[in-house]
Structure 1
Amino acid sequence: MELKNFKDLIKKVQKNDSIKRVAVAAAHDEHTLEAVFKAAGDKLVEPVLVGNKEKIEEILKKLNLKYEPANIINTESDKEAAEKTVELIHENKADFIMKGKLQTADLLKAVVDKEKGLRTGNVISHVAILEIPAYRKLIAVTDGGMVMYPNLDEKKQILENSVNVFLAMGYECPKVAVLCAVETVNPKMPETVDADTLKNMNRDGEIKDCMVEGPISLDLTFNKESAEIKGYSSPVTGDADILLVPNITTGNIMSKALIEMAGATMAGMVVGAKVPIVLTSRGASSEEKYLSLVLSASAVK
């Protein structure tokens, strides 16, 4: 199966057996609460609000949103809010986390804490899912938000993290393009060597539940005809689900370029911890936050 757009993903999440609970850290943010309550109204999530209770109540009143004040978990600082959301996961009172009005570093510090955090031993990476008008289905870009210059082992884990997201969305064998500037292995371009190694790991069964192709350039990834002209034969050409980029700069620029210049819509989350984490920028629109909630709810195990 494949999801053509976010509407397909929303419908899939609405069919889940249970509504997932999201713990919102520092929930005193207007765009965040708009997104959370839109998702709640669409029967996609159940919110658990953590943060400055007075500010949260003010925003709820301003937006005319109903939520039992007694259920708001008041905290005195962003650090405490982050720690409390992690605690809610351990207590099985929430299924995933959303970042509200606090610094990313404050939330991640609580997530990666060795004693009380949510680490699994895996690399924690960012997955952006994009709906692009010029492409017939949803596509992922990873990692444009967490790991700056991943080595081979980190790339393998980033790839596996993204594949797990697609498996959770119902895909059977997502197609992964390991992006490079060229399609041939060149020792002077280390990312091409890594791409070839990842492909062979997949062929040998070390990387499972997906089809990996690389090194492959962006044009061949999207355009099967161009690939055929160049003599590049692969089921991934023109049909990729996941774009694995060589570094954070490439992924960040690619996602933003698709949004700003190609009219793409994006959802993003952090994976590799015990639960998904909605980690959008503080300036993200309500729509991006809403779609990121949908994506994370779909990835909850």
Structure 2
Amino acid sequence: MQVIENRTFDELKAGDTASLVRTLTHKDVELFAIMSGDINPTHVDEAFARSDGFHRIVAHGMWSAALLSTVLGTQLPGPGTIYVDQSLHFLGPVAVGDTITVSVRVTSKMDRTRHVVLDCRAVNQHGEEVITGTAEVIAPAEKISRPRITLPEVELRMKGHRYEQLIAMTHGLAPIRTAVVHPVDAPSLLGAVEAARANLIVPVLIGPESRIRAAAALAQLDLTPYEIVPTAHSTAAAAQAVAMARAGKVDALMKGALHTDELMHAVVDANEGLRTARRISHVFAIDAPRYPRPLFITDAAINVYPTLSEKRDIVQNAIDLAHALGIVEPRVAILSAVETVTETIRSTLDAAALCKMADRGQITGAILDGPLAFDNAVSTEAAETKGIHSLVAGRADIFVVPDLEAGNMLAKQLEYLADAQIAGIVLGARVPIILTSRADKTLARLGSCAIALLLARHAPEKKA
């Protein structure tokens, strides 16, 4: 077992030295910023750093100083050492990728107080000094030898990073006129206004005008810039929004404070709705911080127990969405409880059929594989352990669930147990339909609107 051991005051002598070597990474800079609260853009904002005096991200000065503390506390004198004083001169920057050697050297001892003075020095990989100075410590009187503690691993997560990327993809695109259906509470109204401020949508507020204005007053929102189309109630609002979409007066719908079923009833109406030849389906676009790529789950909100032919449309809708978001050839995992095809589990039969449909050109634009259990879809290690050789296993972008119950539970588990954020969109209708939840965070709401904008602007290119 590795141990750390000190050198007592009596064991120390002038000239004794100790050192360590460390290469600075982005993670080091981010961790130090989180720990200290120092978010000086010189250290954490690459765009700013390129324009400042160093023209690159550099470490906080005290990051290198902390390495000196590490040497003093673990090597010389080591465990039991107490800091008394320190004086440092910072002579040069330490940039990401630089390798720093920090060293201390005993220069004097004070017998009465057990104080020890040490020279401190840090040099980079070119031998250039970046820190010089001195430290004064109280050296331990007794010998200490302890097992080296294994520290927990630290994982940095950027919540909503993928939604920020989606929003960035919309820069330069004109916002889409969006019918916001029955926005009679503060969350739904605020979501629409925030999306308008982000230049993603031009909201058309449809519903009882007095209730919309009351919600605006509660949220302290000025509705002067926005069009209001008054209706008597939520059912009328849904019908009016669908009619405007059919007439080409709006490019998308956005759910407000009404139940999804009420909105979708108007959307799927056989005579006055927004049906196309394609089955309408729903996709959750999920930002899961630990997953290294975008993650889409379908269908978890519209089709309860879809048939094979309905699953074909569900899969194709999700593939078309991925294309609109810049994923040229998405990998599609058809999920089940097991990886083998068995007649006792219908979802495995559907998975096998969908994959063969892709082979025959009935599903296009993606790589499909299934049945795959969820662990094999997300983990190459799990797939290798089970002997699964696949272009999709461990690298899936789209997860096709057996039914709505499985999809909804999977999405909510990711949200509440894996710290994911969830944006929802309905596909297969004449226009994109933004489904928001009262529990959605601001960035998830904006992500849903960004997806709708990218879809709306991608469709004409596809038809051409």
What TM bracket, shorter-length normalisation? over 0.9
Match of 2:453 in 1: 297
State how far apart, in whole Å, the 2-side matches of 1:189 and 1:217 are: 13
1:139 is aligned, of 292, 295, 318, to 295
Please say if residues 35 and 287 of structure 1, whose CA atoms lie closer than 8 Å, have aligned partners that are also in contact.
Answer: no
Task: Name the CA distance, whole Å, in 2 between partners of 1:15 and 1:142.
Answer: 29
Q: Please give the alpha-carbon distance, in whole angstroms, between the structure 1 residues aligned to 2:226 and 2:326.
A: 37
Deviations 1:229-251 (A, max 9, x none): 32211111221110001111110
- Partner of 1:14, secondary structure, is coil
Of 321, 339, 354, which residue of structure 2 is paired with 1:165?
Answer: 321
Provide the residue aligned with 2:165 in structure 1: 8
1:240 counterpart SS class: coil
Letter in 1 for 2:223: Y
- Whole-angstrom distance in 2 between the partners of 1:242 and 1:276: 19
The alignment's C-alpha RMSD in Å is 1.8
Q: Is 1:208 matched up with 2:364?
A: yes
Matches within 5 A, 1:92-241: 92-241=248-397
Report if aligned partners of 1:89, 1:95 keep a CA contact under 8 Å in 2.
Answer: yes
2:292 maps to a residue whose letter is R
* 1:58-97 correspondence to structure 2 within 5 Å: 58-68=214-224, 71-97=227-253
- Percent identity reads 36
Tell me, in whole angstroms, the C-alpha distance in 2 between the residues paired with 1:69 and 1:205.
48
Q: 2:418 aligns with which of 242, 262, 273?
A: 262
User: Secondary structure of the equivalent of 1:239?
Assistant: coil
- Deviation at residue 156 of structure 1 after TM alignment: 0.7
Q: Give TM-score, length-normalised by structure 2.
A: 0.61
Cα distance, 1:185–1:178 mapped onto 2, change above 3 Å: same
**Partners in 1 of 2:423 and 2:345 — Cα distance?**
31
Please tell me the residue identity of whatever aligns with 1:107.
L
Counterpart residue type for residue 265 of structure 2? K
The residue number in structure 1 matching 2:405 is 249
Alignment of 1:48-67 (within 5 A): 48-67=204-223
Give CA-to-partner distance per residue, 1:154-213, whole Å, 9 cap, x none.
Answer: 111111111111111122111100011111111111211111111111122221011101
Match of 2:195 in 1: 39
* 1:4 shift after superposition: 6.8
Q: CA deviation at 1:258?
A: 0.4
Q: 1:262 to 1:147 in 2, by over 3 A?
A: same
Unaligned segments of structure 1, at least 5 residues: none
Measured after TM superposition, the shift of residue 60 of structure 1 is: 2.3
2: distance between equivalents of 1:86 and 1:190? 36
Offset at residue 287 of structure 1 (A): 4.4
Bigger Rg over Cα: 2
Q: Indicate the residue corresponding to 1:23 in structure 2.
A: 179
Deviation at 1:289, TM superposition (A): 3.1
Q: State how far apart, in whole Å, the 1-side matches of 2:299 and 2:193 are.
A: 29
1:282: how far off?
4.6
Letter of the 1:135 counterpart: Y
Distance 2:295 2:377 in 1: 11
Contact 1:265/1:288, CA 8 A, preserved across alignment: yes
Does the C-alpha gap of structure 1 residues 169 and 159 become closer, same or farther in structure 2, counting only changes over 3 Å? same
SS in 1 for 2:272: coil
Q: In the aligned structure 2, how far is the partner of 1:238 from the partner of 1:203?
A: 21
Change (3 A) 1:255 1:26: same
Distance 2:380 2:161 in 1: 18
When the two structures are aligned, how many residues end up with a matched partner?
A: 298
Which protein has the bigger strand share?
2
Residue 131 of structure 1 contacts residue 265 of structure 1 at CA under 8 Å; is this kept in 2?
yes
Identify the structure with bigger relative contact order (alpha carbons < 8 Å, sequence gap 6+): 1
